[in-house]
Amino acid sequence: MIRSGMRLPIALSLAPGVALFATFFVVPFALLVTSSFSEWSGLEFRFTGLENFQRMLADFVFWRAAGNTVFYSAVGVFVQVPLGCLIGIILAQKIRGWKVFRAIIFVPWVISGAAFALVFSMFYNPRFGLLNDILALFGFASRHDWLFDTSTARFAIAGTFAFVLGFTMIVVMAEIASIPKELYEAAECDGAQGWRLHRYITLPLLRNAIGTCVLIRLLSDIGLFDIVYILTLGGPNDSTVTLALYGYRAYLSGEWGFASAIGSTILLIGLVLILSVSRLFRLGERAQ
């Protein structure tokens, strides 16, 4: 409980944080929800009920965007996170050179989406890009246009982030470092070795860490924007479009209410995912 003399300083101390938070999170959130049910162009504002959502659900591009967003999230969860775990488990053994590998593999995580987009627009280019040159070395010579062929475009986009393993890697490494050594020693006494050791000791104990990585990955994939916007604008034939880009298009054409409805949908999906992932991985509870 607070001594009365402390009330004022505590209030003063909380004020800036509360003010910033209210202005840039609470109010925008309220605005977003309200305008989702309206027609709003910046000039005029008119309530239209569920019209925006009806229109959105009837638009096949929305379903394509939702489908792609699910696809990108799946790549994050089922490719990136497992690979990151694998690397993390390997490096946690502190094998020779682990610091160098950790640094190299982590670096892409600090590179911006805009820079990555430029890198991959060169890398995938069918005339002078590196990818086709590499494939030619293995006997697959072609001039395939990875980004602008509907059959490969979304894979090409996913390829830009599927191998950014750094985050999962270090979270896993940190979690392993906190596992008491005695656990392993006991298991070794019982005859467990090598990968079996990890299968039965490490992985179960990583539940919390993996759940966190899945969650963070999902959150950033739901909002995927930079790379797609800069590389393909969502094309060809909307095969790479994401929900965030779909919303941005609505914003560009001046339909702010519609854009807000899409924004609300993104937040709603985010919320559902957080809850279900937390449930699934029982996040917050420590491993037994």
Partner 1 sequence: MCSISRRVLSGTTRLARPAAVAVTLAAAATAVASEPIVISCGACQESPSDPFLQYNYEATQRFNTAHERRYHVQVRQNQYANSGGPERLQYYQRLAVADDLPDVFLLNASEIKELRQTGKLRDLTQDLATDISWRDSFAKDVFSALSDDNGRIWAIPQQRDAIGIYYNRDMLASAGYSDFPETWEDFEAAAEKLKAAGHIAIALDGAWSTLLMWSNLIGTHPEANGFLQEGIRYADDYPLNPAVVTATETLKRWHNAGYVNADAFSGDFQNAAAAYLSGEAAMVANGPWMVNTQLRTNAAIEGLYERTGYAPSPGWEPGARGAIVVTGAGWSSGHTANDETAEAVLAFLKFLSSPEEQLEQARLTGARPAVKIEPEAIVASNLEPLGSTLAEQADSLAFTYPHWRVHAPGLFLEAWRNLWPAYVRGELNSETFLQRLANDAGAKPRG
Partner 2 sequence: MNLPSFRQSLSTLAIYSTLALAALVALGPTAWVMLSSFKTARQIFSGSGLLPSPFTLQGYVDAFAQVRLHEYLLNTLVYAAGGTLGALTVATLAAYPLARYRFAGRNTLVALISLALALPVVGLAVPEFFIMRALGLFDTKWGLIIFYSAQLFPLSFVILRSFLLSLPTDLEEAALIDGAGYFRIVLQIIVPLCRPALATAAVVAFVIIWNDFFFANLLTTSQENQNAQIALAGFRSQFRFNVTGALAGATLVMLVPIVVFLALQRQVIAGLTAGSTK
For partner 1, the binding residues (CB under 8 A) are: 42-43, 121, 125-127, 143, 145, 147-150, 233-239, 249, 252-254
Q: Which does 206 bind (CB under 5 to 8 A by kind): partner 2, partner 1, none?
A: none
From the CB of 58, what's the least distance to partner 2, in Å? Answer: 21
Binding-site member from 1, 43, 58, 189 for partner 2 (CB under 8 A): 1
Q: Which does 168 bind (CB under 5 to 8 A by kind): partner 2, partner 1, none?
A: none
Q: Which does 196 bind (CB under 5 to 8 A by kind): partner 1, partner 2, none?
A: none
Q: Which does 143 bind (CB under 5 to 8 A by kind): partner 2, partner 1, none?
A: partner 1
Applying the rule CB under 8 A, the residues between 24 and 83 that interact with partner 2 are: 24-29, 31-32, 35, 42, 83
For the residues of the chain, what is the DSSP string, one character each? ---GGGHHHHHHHHHHHHHHHIIIIIHHHHHHHHHHTEEE-SS-EEE-TTHHHHHHHH-HHHHHHHHHHHHHHHHIIIIIHHHHHHHHHHHHT--TTHHHHHHHHHGGGGS-HHHHHHHHHHHT-TTT-HHHHHHHHTT------GGGSHHHHHHHHHHHHTT--HHHHHHHHHHHHTS-HHHHHHHHHTT--HHHHIIIIIHHHTHHHHHHHHHHHHHHHHT--HHHHHHTTT-STTSS--HHHHHHHHHHTT-HHHHHHHHHHHHHHHHHHHHHHHHHTTTTSPP-
Q: Which does 1 bind (CB under 5 to 8 A by kind): partner 2, partner 1, none?
A: partner 2
Applying the rule CB under 8 A, the residues between 133 and 162 that interact with partner 2 are: 133
Q: Which does 238 bind (CB under 5 to 8 A by kind): partner 1, partner 2, none?
A: partner 1
From the CB of 177, what's the least distance to partner 2, in Å? Answer: 9
Which region among 50-58, 94-102, 149-157, 232-240 touches partner 2 (by CB under 8 A)? 94-102
Cβ neighbours of 188 (radius 10 Å):
12
From the CB of 266, what's the least distance to partner 2, in Å? Answer: 4
Tell me how far apart the alpha carbons of residues 229 and 252 are, in angstroms, rounded to a whole number: 13
Residue 205 within binding range of partner 2, rule CB under 8 A: no
Binding-site member from 10, 50, 233, 272 for partner 2 (CB under 8 A): 10
Q: Which does 138 bind (CB under 5 to 8 A by kind): partner 2, partner 1, none?
A: none
Which region among 46-54, 99-107, 183-191, 196-204 touches partner 2 (by CB under 8 A)? 99-107
Residue 272 within binding range of partner 2, rule CB under 8 A: no
**Integer angstrom CA distances of residue 287 from 155, 177, 283:** 36, 14, 9
From the CB of 123, what's the least distance to partner 2, in Å? Answer: 4
